[in-house]
Amino acid sequence: MNDGHSLAPESRPAMTAARPLRADGESREAVPDIRPTVTTRFAVNGRFHAVEHDVRVTLLDLLRERLGLTGTKKGCDHGQCGACTVHVNGEAVLSCLTLAASLEDVVVTTIEGVGSPEKLHPMQQAFIDHDALQCGYCTPGQIMAAIACVRDGGARDASSVREWMSGTLCRCAAYPQIASAVLDAAGKMVD
């Protein structure tokens, strides 16, 4: 699929040659970037990646800063807002609380992988049809949570949808429209 980003996956821009500056403005020898790294092999949206990375990197930062998959959003970095929700082996996870190093051999799906502009996922179409978004920032997380909600049996009725979707915050408060969209898409999802 077209990921629409100019940073090629798996290639990090070369470190700059610029020297660090001390507080007094004098330049000094760079401290080498020698933190332990690890190589994680996993698939994202059907594409295999082997990424060498700092052991502390979260899945969220790896997706955004290394793989150029910026559809997944950072809203709190503390697992409190749901904007970074992705699927790992089909399960909804908060990518800000998931260390990339823990993902050896898994399959990750992000908003860029659930559908394409030409062939939207029923949930994406339902979000458009029900105006279930305003600024659009939480929308990728809402859609990833919503797909998992339907798959996991949470879309029994409106009340159940609202309860399931309450972990994903929307400050524009498109909540009524989101609940309608999830119920609508639930009847159209095949898997």
Partner 1 sequence: MTEPSSARIGEPLPRVDALAKVTGMALFPSDVPAPETAYAVLLTSTIALGRIVRIDSSAAETVPGFLLLLSHENVAGCIKTPHAFAGLSTTTVESVQVMHDGQIVGLIVAQSYEGACEAAACVRIDYEPSSAAAGFDSPGVQRRRVKEANARHQDPRIGDADAAYVSAPVRIAADYATPTQHHNSIELLTTTCWWEGDRLTVHEPSQFVLDRRYLADCFGIPVEHIRVVSRFCGGGFGGKTSGTPRTALCALAARRLNRPVKLVARREQAFTINTYRAETRHHVRLAAHHDGRLLALIHEGMEITSRPSTYSVAGTEVTARMYACANIRTEVSIVHADRNTPGFMRCPAELPYMFALESAMDELAHALHMDPIELRRRNDTDRDPIDGRAYSSRSLMRCFDEGARQFGWSDRPAQPGTHRMGEWRVGYGCAAASYPAVLGASAARVSLDGEARARVQLAFHEIGNGAYTVIAQAAAAALGLPLASVEVELGDTRLPPSNIAAASNGTATTCNAVTRACAMIRDRLLEAARQDPLFGTDPSLQAAQLMDGCLVAGGARLPIASLVERIGGLVDAEGAYIVPDAPPGAIERLRQGIPAFGGGVHGRTHVALSLGAHFVQVHVHVLTGEIRVPRVLGVFAAGTIMNRRTAASQLTGGMIWGMGSALHEATIVDPGSARYINRSFADYLIPVNADVPSVTAILLEERDEVINPMGIKGVGELGPSGMNAAIANAIFNATGRRLRSLPILPRHLI
Segment 103 to 162, residues that bind partner 1, using CB under 8 A:
110-112, 115-117, 120, 124-125, 127-129, 131, 133-140, 143, 158-159, 161-162
Residue 40 is a binding residue for partner 1 (CB under 8 A)? no
Residue 29 is a binding residue for partner 1 (CB under 8 A)? no
Which two three-digit tokens encode residue 137? 């920032």
Residue 92 is a binding residue for partner 1 (CB under 8 A)? no
Given 3-state DSSP classes, what are the helix, strand and coil percentages for the chain, each rounded to the nearest 5? 30, 15, 50
Closest listed residue to residue 141, CA positions, set 116, 159, 167? 167
How many other C-beta atoms lie within 10 A of the C-beta of residue 158? 13
Residue 39 is a binding residue for partner 1 (CB under 8 A)? no
End-to-end, the C-alpha distance of the chain in Å comes to: 20
The residue range among 87-95, 101-109, 171-179, 183-191 that interacts with partner 1, by the rule CB under 8 A, is: 171-179
Residue 49 is a binding residue for partner 1 (CB under 8 A)? no
Residue 92 to residue 124: CA distance in whole angstroms: 16
Residue 141 to residue 107: CA distance in whole angstroms: 17
Residue 76 is a binding residue for partner 1 (CB under 8 A)? yes
Residue 10 is a binding residue for partner 1 (CB under 8 A)? no
Residue 44 is a binding residue for partner 1 (CB under 8 A)? no
Q: Which of 46, 90, 153, 176 binds partner 1 (CB under 8 A)?
A: 176
